[in-house]
Each structure stands twice: as C-alpha cells, then as structure tokens.
Amino acid sequence: MLTAENPGGDAIARFILTFYPAWTIYFETQRYANVLGTDDVIHRTWVLVAMMTMEGYIGKASAIPLHTEDQWFSDATVRSATAFWLSMRLIHAAIIGIAGVRLSKFRLCLWLWSTHVLVPMFIYLVSRRYAEC
C-alpha cells in the first residue's frame, strides 16, 4: 500500500515508520564518511554493513501490517525489522567508540557521538519492555 494510493493515517504512519529508521542508517553512514571516512578497509566494511542492514530493514519494514490493535508489536516482521535497525545502531556506536580509542585528541567528542547513537536505541528497548507489560 503506497501513501499516494491510499492517503490516510495508516499510510502516513507506515511512511514515517519505514522512512525514519532507514534515513537514520543513511545519515549515520554519511556522517561517518564525512567525519572519519578514510577510504580504508574499516570504512568500506562499514558502508557494506550499512547497505546490508538498510536493505534488510526496508524489506521487513515494508511488510509490516499496521493494525489498530495493540498487539502488532508481537509480529515477527516487526521484530526482525527492529533487529536490523538496532544492530546497525549498535555496530555504528562500536565503530565510533573504537575510533575514539584510536584518536586520542577527539576521544571525548567521539565517545559522546557514540552515546548519542546509543540513547535512542536504549529508549526504544525500555519503552518496548514497558509496552509489553
């Protein structure tokens, strides 16, 4: 179901829920390339992992059924799409943290950046835990 074909609340919610996490993966990869990208093996591996997780996320997120019930979070498609997004954020935070260890002049800035990447992930996990109660 495309948003243009059937405009409404469900279509807009689907667009936002699909677009935002994919955009964050793209934006974080772009930011990493602009700030720390040295075109080495780590950078190329990071771009490959980002593309793979984005494809996995988009493939799963586009198949998520939007229901009006509260139990749509228990769907396996939602869990796998969420796993792609969260694993990408975790890998990104690890790479930024490792860069902080290697670049001592920018250590604090890179560790804060890594924390900035992890905070939405932990907020999501905590809110998900309380939503299941």
More confident residue, 108 or 61: 108
Which range has the worst mean pLDDT, 6-10, 35-39, 60-64? 6-10
41: left (phi over 0), alpha (psi -120 to 50) or beta: alpha
What global pTM score does this model have? 0.68
Separation of alpha carbons 72 and 114, rounded Å: 31
Residue whose C-alpha is closest to residue 57's, from 83, 75, 32, 31: 83
Taking a C-beta distance cutoff of 8 angstroms, is the pair 52, 8 a contact? no
Taking a C-beta distance cutoff of 8 angstroms, is the pair 80, 112 a contact? no
- Token pair of 113, please? 């950046």
Separation of alpha carbons 86 and 17, rounded Å: 14
Which range has the worst mean pLDDT, 42-46, 86-90, 107-111, 124-128? 124-128
- Domain locations in the chain? 9-132
